[in-house]
Amino acid sequence: MTMRPALFRLGALASGLLFGLGLAISGMIDPSKVKAFLDIAAIPTGGWDPSLAFVMASAVLVSMAALRIAHRHRHPIAAATFATPSARRVDAPLVLGSILFGIGWGLSDPRAPQSG
């Protein structure tokens, strides 16, 4: 295992903290808020919550700007090379992983009604 520079680890920590803070501020750590976004059947009655779409759009804009700035440099600041994904297609492991994540997330809601 190679040792990563302290700056790399600090950058990863800062990124994770910023991401978590963004989720907390936007309310996206509340499962009921996410479920209200996913409940598209509630659109006609006005019960649908579009706020997650605005959070996602904001994240995409910030990411696009950051990538544009990053690619102006020859080398990253805290790593030897840029880590860009090589896969360009959606394959079965990606879909299966997404499904498993969704099921796990749905089952983890502590406020869900308990049977029994």
Q: For the chain, how far is it from start to end, CA to CA, in angstroms?
A: 48
pLDDT at 99: 92
Q: Is there a domain that residue 82 lies in?
A: no
In a domain, 62, yes or no: yes
Q: Within a domain: residue 55?
A: yes
Question: According to the model, what pLDDT value does residue 2 have?
Answer: 56
Q: Is residue 114 part of a domain?
A: no
Would 28 be classed as within a structural domain? yes
Q: Where does the pLDDT of residue 7 fall: very low under 50, low under 70, confident under 90, or very high at 90 and above?
A: confident
Write the burial class of residue 102 (CB in 10 Å: 0-12 exposed, 13-18 middle, 19+ buried): exposed
> Is 42 within a domain?
yes
% of the chain surpassing 90 pLDDT = 19
Q: Measure the CA angle with vertex 50, ends 47 and 53; round to 5°.
A: 155
Domain holding 34, by residue range, is 10-73
Domain count, the chain: 1
Q: Is 67 domain-assigned?
A: yes
Q: Which of 26, 19, 25, 20 is nearest to 49 (CA)?
A: 26
> What's the pLDDT tens digit per position in 56-95?
899 899 989 988 888 888 888 777 788 777 888 899 999 9
According to the model, what pLDDT value does residue 6 have?
Answer: 84
* pTM > 0.75: no
